[in-house]
């Protein structure tokens, strides 16, 4: 086990150059970040942690004039980047560089394929695999304040120290089950830039409660949410600091025609009405003027019959049985909502593709087509081939 005395704190260009040189020959590196985004639209990067079998380092972006040498290593296609629950960290690197690091190995996704709880936390996985209880004292620390204490640096370093130890263990377990290739598509998807972009015209989809609006009201919401997204980006402020979701919904429903009308809305703070009033009125009018063929459509609500709901229950039992047999986490295959869509007729779904199809998707289709059935034997749900039972019967 690596000791804290070996940890590096990188806050000068010379130290960074030495770290980059030390990383040059490595085929993989464990990676994590500390950031703040409570007061900004874009995450403020405060620390980058890196580990290999030979070193643990905390790189201070607030003290370094240029991160390019390290970013070159992180974006090196010849090096696998190992992260736990990678999305937020990768989003930061995407905004820093304009591209997403690859290839990626996400230990949270890998753990689900080995029977650990779906979306297992890093601390829980470290405890399960290494028997180490991680210190959570600095979980809510302000990582933008300097200087960092020795305890803060050790806490941050632990986020990659043990990641570098559990990665080879997970790879070994996956290889023993011949499952490493199963994750290839999931890992490749993590490096897709589309995952980290919110095009302004699509921002309305992120507004909580948008599906409750009528079609013509969603047209107004589309214009308002696009304006809010662009304003939040330009000002680098959280969306809710510009206008909160509930206020956007009320604006879309009531469509005030003037700043005076805006000021009567309870959900819109007076300072927002004063600061953004003319812009809001302008975008409400633009939304009302949108031709009907440009109104955003909400996905149709899924309504299953009682008979279909019973089929979903049977399908969920099959899913859990397949997951149990293969030692994977059931939610890593599909959620109940996913199964409802498939029962309703959807066929373009991850459960019916790749490794998920091999584990349970093929069997689910066989169940829906009446080719297999479920029975209980010795207290467990079992799959039976209908053709065989028909012949024997």
Give the catalytic positions in this structure.
Answer: 32, 34, 89, 155, 159
Nearest to 63 by CA among 97, 18, 19, 12: 12
CA–CA distance, 331 with 199 (Å, rounded to integer): 29
Decide if 86 contacts 189 (C-beta within 8 A).
no
Interatomic CA distance for residues 277 and 259, integer angstroms: 5
Q: Which two tokens stand for residue 330?
A: 């059931």
- Give the separation between CA 352 and CA 360, rounded to whole angstroms: 8
Task: Please choose, from the candidates 5, 10, 12, the residue with its C-alpha nearest in 3D space to the C-alpha of residue 23.
Answer: 10
How far is Cα 331 from Cα 234, in angstroms, rounded to an integer? 38
Residues 6+ apart with CB under 8 A from 278: 259
- For the record, the structure tokens of 386 come out as 């209908």
- ∠ CA(291), CA(209), CA(220), 5° rounding? 25
| Opening angle at CA 51, ends 13 and 74, nearest 5 | 60
- 72: enclosing H helix or E strand: helix 68-74
Residue with tokens 């690596």: 2
Structure tokens at 380: 């467990």
Give DSSP secondary structure letters for 233-268.
HHHT--HHHHS-HHHHHHHHHH---SHHHHTT-TTS
Whether 284 contacts 217, CB under 8 Å = no
- Burial-class residue 24 by CB neighbours within 10 Å (0-12, 13-18, 19+): exposed
Q: Is the CB of residue 256 less than 8 Å from the CB of residue 272?
A: no
The span from the CA of 35 to the CA of 88, in Å, is 10
Q: Pairing between strand 8-10 and 56-59?
A: parallel
| Pair type for strands 104-106 and 80-83 | parallel
């Amino acid at each position: 086990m690596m000791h804290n005395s070996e940890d590096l704190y990188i806050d000068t260009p010379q130290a960074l150059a030495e770290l980059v040189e030390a990383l040059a020959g490595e085929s993989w590196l464990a990676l994590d970040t500390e950031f703040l985004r409570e007061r900004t639209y874009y995450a403020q990067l405060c620390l980058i942690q890196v580990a290999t079998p030979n070193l643990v380092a905390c790189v201070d972006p607030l003290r370094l004039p240029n991160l390019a040498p390290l970013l070159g290593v992180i974006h090196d296609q010849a090096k696998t980047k190992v992260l736990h629950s990678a999305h937020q960290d990768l989003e930061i690197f995407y905004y820093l560089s304009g591209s997403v690091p690859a290839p990626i190995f996400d230990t949270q996704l890998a753990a689900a394929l080995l029977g650990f709880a779906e979306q297992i936390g890093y601390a829980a996985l470290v405890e399960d695999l290494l028997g180490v209880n991680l210190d959570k004292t600095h979980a809510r620390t302000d990582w933008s304040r300097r200087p960092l204490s020795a305890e803060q640096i050790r806490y941050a370093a632990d986020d990659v120290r043990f990641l570098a130890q559990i990665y080879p263990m997970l790879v070994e377990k996956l290889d023993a089950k011949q499952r490493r290739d199963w994750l290839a598509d999931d890992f490749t998807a993590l490096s897709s830039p589309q995952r980290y972009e919110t095009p302004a015209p699509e921002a309305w989809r992120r507004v909580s409660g948008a599906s409750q609006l009528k079609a013509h009201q969603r047209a107004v919401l589309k214009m308002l949410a696009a304006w809010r997204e662009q304003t939040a980006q330009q000002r680098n402020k959280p969306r809710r600091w510009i206008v909160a979701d509930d206020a956007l919904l009320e604006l879309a429903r009531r469509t005030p025609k003037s700043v005076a009308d805006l000021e009567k809305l309870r959900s819109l703070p007076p300072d927002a009405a004063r600061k953004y009033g003319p812009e809001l009125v302008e975008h409400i009018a633009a939304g009302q003027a949108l031709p009907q063929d440009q109104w955003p459509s909400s996905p149709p609500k899924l309504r299953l019959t009682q008979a279909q709901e019973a089929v979903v229950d049977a399908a969920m039992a099959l899913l859990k049985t397949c997951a149990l047999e293969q030692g994977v986490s059931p939610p890593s295959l599909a959620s109940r909502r996913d199964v409802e869509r498939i029962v309703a007729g959807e066929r373009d779904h991850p459960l019916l593709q790749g490794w998920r199809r091999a584990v349970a998707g093929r069997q689910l289709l066989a169940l829906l087509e009446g080719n297999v059935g479920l029975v209980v034997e010795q207290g467990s749900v079992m799959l039976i081939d209908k053709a065989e039972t028909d012949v024997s019967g």
